[in-house]
Chains A and B, each alone.
Chain A
């Protein structure tokens, strides 16, 4: 037989395998017939309905089974994983491109990084100021890479830390008199804010819808409010419609001075030297100094008591 020759052993195995594959369905068939034989009652009955096919094998079941709950980030236990992941990624990037040439800080493109509150919203974690500053330091170092040699990945990464809308792209449009001949000027002094609409006219002035005499009882306040027009002798050439709010009488009057001076400059830019000399367009940035602990007022110390 085939077993006697070692060379024909392979052939024999082959034939065995062939027959096994061939006989597989037949054995299954015989098994089913056995089952039916077992369940079969001796009563005469109709042919049994063919059983529905078994459902498909779910090969993905093992990989679909949950096994563990784990942190999303390796920095989980630090309490601020997103921030630390950002820092580590940036440091890796900096180390990778450390060999690239850099330019001076003043020559690097100006970038508007996130402000701290915006960055906190972005990462969703309460990041302290000091730690955010250290992150910005890395960003600025990456930003100093010579502009024409910045790798794409650095550019993309830096872009994710920019404020939406580029504030440095907006150019200041010089203000002018609008199509109705109105010049608008704003001014501030102490806690007061004034907005003046100035048009050419006969010298009417309305402050918050009232005449200026009603609003400012003191002559000095009236003088100082309209000082820009008075010192240029244009009191009867313009009508002013003024809104002023906040602060006290003096503050409001001097806020109007500044607003009026600025509005007048839009009509007549040639008056700039005069107005500057008269102090009508000079901003007074002084504000009330805060009170300090241990002091009675901003600077006043409590009176000395011996005991």
Chain B
């Protein structure tokens, strides 16, 4: 009995040996009749791209481990084989693409805007007559926004965002509708700006000390590197205000736009046919109810901001700034009185 088991064990090992043999025989000029692929190498061939999140997993599999783990990784080649099957679909619409890789302002075309549905306004009964100059016509009781006007206004807004970014301004992207979150966050990260995708807290600008007082700020040099030496000077500074606000749904953010008006902060807004275009400084006449349209606009403005930031950092590398930097002296003085912190001091 024992001897038979021993034989079985040995023979199993022998089988395993013979399976491993073809790897070395690859280098021979003639292959054996039945080439047996080893599991590991085949997986590596299938998933060699480093951007694939499964890549790490497959690498980790070489040390593997429990049966469940083994099972999951052994299914992977099958899964990737299935992906190759079927026809190749060309020029399809990928909703993720406009968020992952938004177009540049130079790529704006009427086709792109049409495809995103920016031309669709509201029912004619709900219109705001101030928008009449943006409206192309009426179709099935719905106002159609003129695409060339949209494109022109979008290009202008992109220019504004780029110039503000190039001058080191704080750009706030606000889109508080459901589903706009990712587009807003992506645009803010591209433009090195700031985002708000939940409710705007009323008073964040007019009563900033109370609402944003506890939020951290930092002093940076022209190259955007933090200077920790000035941390102590930030203690009793007023809260910061954005230099430009991009609002994707002005109808819901009346308070935000009102506060921006009070604080002289310029605003860019997506204005549908039922919105009031005088509430924002730079209107973009477009459909604001379609996520595809607002995501496209946010992405384009994000790309514009990215270009502006690149320009600013390039200038900073050469030792120049296109804005007046705050001086160490100004940082040390009291922001409200302009006096030295001791109380008695020279008036600035």
- Are the chains A and B members of one assembly? yes
In the complex with contacts A64-B221, A71-B170, A124-B214, A79-B331 CB distance below 8 A: no
Contact indicator A149/B69 (Cβ below 8 Å): yes
* Residues in chain B near residue A88, CB distance under 8 A: 185
B230 on interface, CB distance cutoff 8 Å:
yes
Interface string of A48-86 (1 = CB under 8 A from B): 000000000000001111111111111111110100100
* Residues in chain B near residue A124, CB distance under 8 A: 214
In the bound assembly, the distance between CA atoms of A73 and B66 in angstroms comes to 41
Contact indicator B222/A62 (Cβ below 8 Å): yes
Stretch at the interface among A5-13, A93-101, A165-173: A93-101
Contact indicator A64/B227 (Cβ below 8 Å): yes
B344 on interface, CB distance cutoff 8 Å:
no
* Residues in chain A near residue B217, CB distance under 8 A: 69-72, 76
Interface positions of A from 110 to 153, Cβ below 8 Å from B: 124-125, 146, 148-149, 151
B70 to chain A, nearest CB (A): 10
Contact indicator B65/A63 (Cβ below 8 Å): no
Interface string of B197-235 (1 = CB under 8 A from A): 110010010000001101111111111010100100010
Contact indicator A149/B57 (Cβ below 8 Å): yes
Stretch at the interface among B21-29, B38-46, B107-115, B187-195: B187-195
Interface string of B163-200 (1 = CB under 8 A from A): 00000101010000000000001001100011111100
* Residues in chain B near residue A73, CB distance under 8 A: 215-216
B325 on interface, CB distance cutoff 8 Å:
yes
Residues of A within 8 A of B (CB-CB), count: 32
In the bound assembly, the distance between CA atoms of A71 and B328 in angstroms comes to 18
Residue of B nearest to A151 (CB): B56
Contact indicator A68/B185 (Cβ below 8 Å): no
In the bound assembly, the distance between CA atoms of A63 and B225 in angstroms comes to 8
* Residues in chain B near residue A100, CB distance under 8 A: 57
B95 on interface, CB distance cutoff 8 Å:
no
Contact indicator B328/A66 (Cβ below 8 Å): yes
Interface positions of B from 315 to 334, Cβ below 8 Å from A: 319, 321, 323, 325-328, 331
Contact indicator B53/A96 (Cβ below 8 Å): yes
Interface string of A225-236 (1 = CB under 8 A from B): 000000000000
Contact indicator B325/A68 (Cβ below 8 Å): yes
Q: Which of A69, A72, A74, A75 has the most CB of B within 10 A?
A: A69
B237 on interface, CB distance cutoff 8 Å:
yes
B208 to chain A, nearest CB (A): 9
Interface string of B223-262 (1 = CB under 8 A from A): 1010100100010010010100000000000000000000
Contact indicator A74/B195 (Cβ below 8 Å): yes
In the complex with contacts A77-B242, A79-B201, A67-B326 CB distance below 8 A: yes
Contact indicator A66/B219 (Cβ below 8 Å): yes
Name 22 A/B residue pairs within 8 A (Cβ), A-sorted: A62-B319, A63-B223, A65-B328, A66-B230, A67-B221, A68-B220, A69-B220, A70-B240, A71-B216, A71-B217, A73-B216, A74-B193, A74-B195, A75-B195, A75-B196, A77-B194, A78-B201, A79-B204, A79-B215, A81-B215, A97-B53, A148-B69
Residues of chain A having any CB pair with chain B under 8 Å? 62-79, 81, 84, 88, 96-97, 99-101, 124-125, 146, 148-149, 151
